[in-house]
């Protein structure tokens, strides 16, 4: 996702996505701007997992751990154009085939993603995959949003609501501990609209481990595309972003590790906490002894299909 241009309350259009200007910049940087990440988004502890009694070692690119598909994940691939679609609105379908052994993953995986725009101002992302041997898959789009329409502005003033009573706390390696903990009376409680910047620097061990928000939320209504999973609102412009998804989790990332040397659009450097992500996903490190986490195993003959809709408009983030 390179640009998403939407009007403010006065009808003035602006791009609400952080990114870069050229394909080579997208391929070279490690911030995953707008990319489809996979095979497995987020972290897998030490890059290891077992499946059907077989142990697998993935390529590690986050210290001892595997992040967003490894050093040469799906974000580094130029996907094949399959179809431009005939449905109402505009759509495009892309395909990427990951061979057996790619970054250490078992089995060949064919992934397809369809991006479509509808007349209700929804950007729909349909992810599908199939395999020829048992494997794991968790496809996620890693869009960075700044609803002010100008990524030179920090995102602390954005109000956020997340439909989640629990989240998955992390270890010092930012890997889920396996616990599902209530957000009540913590800086992670966004069940009422709250500014991202209000508590981001609070005296909280989990915020210190993530250098801000970099945590997975356990959504209250997984799989329900009629029920919003999250809303973000920028008071100054009136822009409202609503998120609907079939996925069980949502990663809130407050852009804590963006550095000034990452090229931005129109010559402006991208900066720390000047964009945020609402990544719809299965839970990080799901294969490793977290039997209560939704599975990310895919087997031959099974169809992987997950949908996320980012709907943009003008409004307020009522809970």
Which residues are known catalytic residues?
142, 279
Lateral strand order in the sheet of 194-195:
80-83, 90-98, 109-117, 122-131, 304-314, 239-245, 230-233, 159-162, 194-195
User: Measured at the alpha carbon of residue 51, what is the angle toward residues 49 and 55, in degrees to the nearest 5?
Assistant: 55
Partners of 47 in the β-ladder: none
In angstroms, the Cα distances linking 120 to 13, 24, 69, 117 are: 17, 33, 33, 8
| Rounded distance between C-alpha atoms, residue 164 and residue 248, angstroms | 10
Alpha helices in the chain (DSSP H): 23-28, 205-210
- List CB contacts of 76: < 8 A, sequence separation 6 or more: 27
Instruction: For residue 301, give the DSSP letter.
Output: T
- State whether the Cα torsion 279-271-66-126 is positive or negative: positive
Residue of 13, 14, 12, 15 lying closest to 2 (CA atoms): 15
- Token pair in block for residue 77: 């691939």
Give the chain's end-to-end CA distance (angstroms, integer): 28
- List CB contacts of 291: < 8 A, sequence separation 6 or more: none
């Amino acid at each position: 996702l390179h640009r998403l241009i939407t009007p403010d309350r006065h009808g003035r259009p602006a791009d609400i996505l952080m990114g870069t200007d050229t394909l080579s910049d997208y391929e070279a940087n490690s911030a995953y701007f707008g990319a489809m990440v996979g095979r497995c988004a987020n972290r897998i502890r030490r890059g290891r997992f077992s499946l059907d009694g077989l142990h697998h070692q993935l390529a590690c690119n986050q210290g001892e751990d595997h992040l967003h598909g490894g050093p040469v994940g799906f974000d580094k691939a130029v996907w094949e154009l399959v179809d431009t679609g005939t449905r109402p609105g505009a759509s495009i379908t892309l395909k990427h085939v990951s061979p057996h052994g790619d970054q250490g993953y078992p089995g060949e995986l064919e992934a397809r993603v369809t991006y479509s725009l509808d007349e209700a101002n929804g950007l729909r992302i349909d992810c599908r995959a199939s395999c020829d041997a048992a494997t794991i898959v968790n496809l996620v789009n890693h869009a960075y949003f700044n609803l002010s329409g100008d990524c030179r502005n920090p995102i602390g003033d954005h109000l956020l609501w997340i439909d989640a009573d629990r989240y998955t706390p992390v270890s010092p390696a930012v890997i889920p501990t396996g616990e599902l903990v209530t957000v009540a009376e913590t800086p992670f409680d966004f069940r009422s609209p709250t500014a991202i910047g209000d508590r981001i620097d609070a005296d909280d061990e989990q915020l210190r481990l993530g250098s801000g928000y970099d945590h997975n939320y356990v959504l209250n209504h997984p799989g329900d595309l009629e029920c919003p999973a999250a809303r973000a609102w920028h008071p100054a412009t009136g822009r409202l972003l609503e998120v609907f998804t079939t996925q069980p989790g949502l990663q809130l990332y407050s852009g804590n590790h963006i550095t000034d040397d990452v090229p931005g659009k129109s010559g402006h450097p991208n900066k720390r906490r000047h964009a945020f992500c609402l990544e719809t996903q299965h839970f990080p490190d799901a294969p490793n002894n977290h039997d209560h986490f939704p599975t990310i195993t895919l087997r031959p003959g099974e169809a992987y299909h997950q949908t996320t809709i980012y709907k943009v408009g003008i409004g307020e983030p009522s809970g």
